[in-house]
Amino acid sequence: MPSISRDEVAHLARLARLAVSDDELDLFAGQLDQIVGAVAAVGSVADQDIPPTSHAVPLTNVFRADIVRPGLTQAQALAAAPAAEDGRFRVPRILGEEA
């Protein structure tokens, strides 16, 4: 099983631009080593006879049926808008002319 060294943790911290103390280097090295070991243990359990699954229980359609219901008219929707123009919501421009 591979062991995560302090130098590797320090290198990762530099890449992530994290300030890590010497005590934290030792702590994180141990924690990362446990994580890598746990992932290796899970990987060793998987077998060729077990198909990959995304859910433990097969799913069917979990959405409710679409039911057409009356909605707001354009005038009703725009009635509460702070600003409207040409039958649409008016919002501040966020893109320049180049877009």
Q: Please tell me the predicted confidence (pLDDT) of residue 18.
A: 94
Pairing of strands 84-85, 88-89: antiparallel
22-49 per-position pLDDT tens digit: 999 999 999 999 998 888 888 777 677 7
Q: Are 80 and 86 in contact (CB under 8 A)?
A: no
* Structure confidence by residue, pLDDT tens digits, 41-97: 887 776 777 777 778 787 787 788 889 999 999 999 999 899 999 999 999 888 876
Q: What percent of the chain is modeled with pLDDT above 90?
A: 55
Contact 4, 36 (CB under 8 A): yes
Please give the angle made by the CA atoms of 34, 39 and 43, to the nearest 5 degrees: 145
1 has pLDDT over 50 = no
Domain boundaries defined on the chain: 6-45
Please state the pTM of the whole predicted model. Answer: 0.45
The architecture of the domain spanning 6-45 is Orthogonal Bundle (1.10)
